Structure 1
Amino acid sequence: MMKEQKVIYRAKSKTQLAQAYNVDLRTFNKWIKPFLNEIGTYTGGAYTPKQVKIIYDKIGEPETF
């Protein structure tokens, strides 16, 4: 029986996320705009691990994940 691999999400800045998706920051912001209420406030220069998970759930995981 195979074990499921547990994914560990880390805090990331918008720039880091945009780079992971291989798009510029403006495009990334457009992608997440419809989900801002669910994602929550961007504070401290980074999204929390929980917010990063929500972003991945909404727009898919980047290839460089």
Structure 2
Amino acid sequence: MRHRPKDIVHPIGCACRHCTPRACRNRRFDLAIRAATRVLFLIAAIIAIPFIIAHALASAKGDGR
């Protein structure tokens, strides 16, 4: 069984594994994920436009479908 140290105040510049930040993912990968998400939302919005227009026209004509 592993002994967990008690929560203590660490000095400034402490290099223990609890104080050092974890290595994050690659920045390029994060930017690629963000760009892909934006592209997918843009495509979804463009595909939804005709349906929104059709719904608005049907509502204006009084068609209850």
Q: What TM-score, normalized to structure 2?
A: 0.21
Higher relative contact order (CA 8 A, sep 6+): 1
Q: Which has the larger radius of gyration?
A: 2
Q: What TM-score, normalized to structure 1?
A: 0.21
